[in-house]
C-alpha cells in the first residue's frame, strides 16, 4: 500500500473533521412528527441556525420549551419549562428548571414561531443550536 500524498491526506483529515459537525446538525425525525400540526412540523423542519444558515436548528427531538426568559449581567438565559414526554419525543431529558445560557448569535426570530412557546434547540450534550422566542408566524 502506497502512502497518501500530502494533499490527499489533508483532504481526508478535513472530511473526517467535518463529519460530526454536519451529522449533529441534521433534524432528527424519529417518528415524533405523527401527531404534530403540519404547519408546526414544516416550521420545525425549515428552521435554520442564525449563525450558520445552511444548518438546521434540528427538529422536535432537539426542542425544549424554555418560556422563562431573563437577562443577567448582559447575557440572555431561559429556564426549561417543558413537561412533555421525552420518551415519546425521543429526546434527551433536560429537567424542568434547568437554566440555559443563550448565546446572542443563536437568537432567531425571522421565521416566527407557531408553537405558543419559546423554544431552545439543544444538542444531546447541551450545546445551543437555536433559540426562538414565542410569537406568531
Q: pTM of the predicted model, to two decimals?
A: 0.73
Residue 97 lies in a domain: yes
In this structure, is residue 1 part of a structural domain?
no
What's the domain count of the chain?
A: 1
Q: What is the pLDDT of residue 78?
A: 97
Which range of residues forms the domain containing residue 106? 6-132
User: 38-92, pLDDT tens digit by residue?
Assistant: 888 888 889 999 999 999 988 888 999 999 999 999 999 999 999 999 998 899 9
Q: Which residue has the higher pLDDT, 73 or 21?
A: 73
Answer with the residue of higher pLDDT: 74 or 35.
74
137 within domain boundaries: no
List the one residue out of 68, 45, 62, 72 whose CA is nearest residue 120: 62
Q: CB–CB of 36/27 below 8 Å?
A: no
pLDDT confidence of residue 35: 65
Burial class (CB in 10 A: 0-12, 13-18, 19+), 39: exposed
Amino acid at each position: 500500500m502506497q502512502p497518501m500524498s500530502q494533499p490527499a491526506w489533508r483532504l481526508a483529515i478535513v472530511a473526517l473533521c467535518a463529519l460530526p459537525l454536519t451529522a449533529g446538525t441534521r433534524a432528527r425525525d424519529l417518528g415524533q412528527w405523527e401527531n404534530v400540526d403540519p404547519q408546526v412540523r414544516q416550521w420545525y423542519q425549515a428552521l435554520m441556525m442564525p449563525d450558520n444558515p445552511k444548518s438546521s436548528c434540528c427538529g422536535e427531538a432537539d426542542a425544549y420549551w424554555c418560556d422563562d426568559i431573563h437577562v443577567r449581567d448582559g447575557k440572555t438565559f431561559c429556564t426549561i419549562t417543558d413537561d412533555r414526554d421525552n420518551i415519546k419525543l425521543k429526546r434527551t431529558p433536560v429537567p424542568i428548571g434547568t437554566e440555559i445560557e443563550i448565546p446572542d448569535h443563536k437568537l432567531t426570530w425571522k421565521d416566527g414561531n407557531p408553537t405558543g412557546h419559546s423554544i431552545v434547540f439543544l444538542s444531546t450534550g447541551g450545546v445551543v443550536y437555536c433559540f426562538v422566542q414565542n410569537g406568531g408566524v
